[in-house]
């Protein structure tokens, strides 16, 4: 009898909901100190997860939760990239 594969769960830094890793957006602070959007979920470095919901992004920015989790400020161009990725995911899901 085979066991079902365990789905890794991660917590959104904004709403603190536990969701499957694949549903969340991951930001990573690389060992070089660069903050990036990690679309693969496998880049090396300190990660922070965020629901693909604009309200979670706004809450995380307002309360500086991404900065606290990553240990440094999030560049404005990355915030814009996150907003674009969220729009793309919403359109892709038919919402």
Residue 88's domain is classified under what CATH number?
A: 3.30.1230.10
In this prediction, residue 64 carries a pLDDT of 97
pLDDT at 91: 84
Q: What is the pLDDT of residues 7-64, one digit of tens each?
A: 999 999 999 999 999 999 999 999 999 999 999 999 999 999 999 999 999 999 999 9
Q: How many CA atoms lie within 13 A of 68 on its CB side?
A: 8
Q: How many domains does the chain have?
A: 1
Q: What is the C-alpha end-to-end distance of the chain, expressed in Å?
A: 38
Please report whether residue 1 resides in a domain.
no
The pTM (predicted TM-score) of the whole model is 0.88
**Which domain covers residue 68, as residue numbers?**
9-92
Does residue 4 fall inside a structural domain? no
pLDDT computed for residue 93 by the predictor? 66
Structural domain includes residue 2: no
């Amino acid at each position: 009898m085979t066991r079902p594969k365990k789905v890794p769960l991660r917590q959104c830094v904004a709403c603190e909901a536990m969701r499957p890793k694949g549903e969340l957006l991951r930001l990573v602070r690389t060992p070089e100190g660069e903050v990036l959007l990690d679309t693969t979920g496998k880049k090396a470095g300190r990660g922070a997860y965020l629901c693909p919901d604009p309200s979670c992004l706004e809450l995380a920015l307002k309360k500086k939760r991404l900065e606290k989790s990553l240990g440094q400020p999030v560049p404005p161009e990355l915030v814009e990239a996150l907003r674009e990725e969220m729009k793309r995911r919403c359109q892709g899901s038919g919402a």
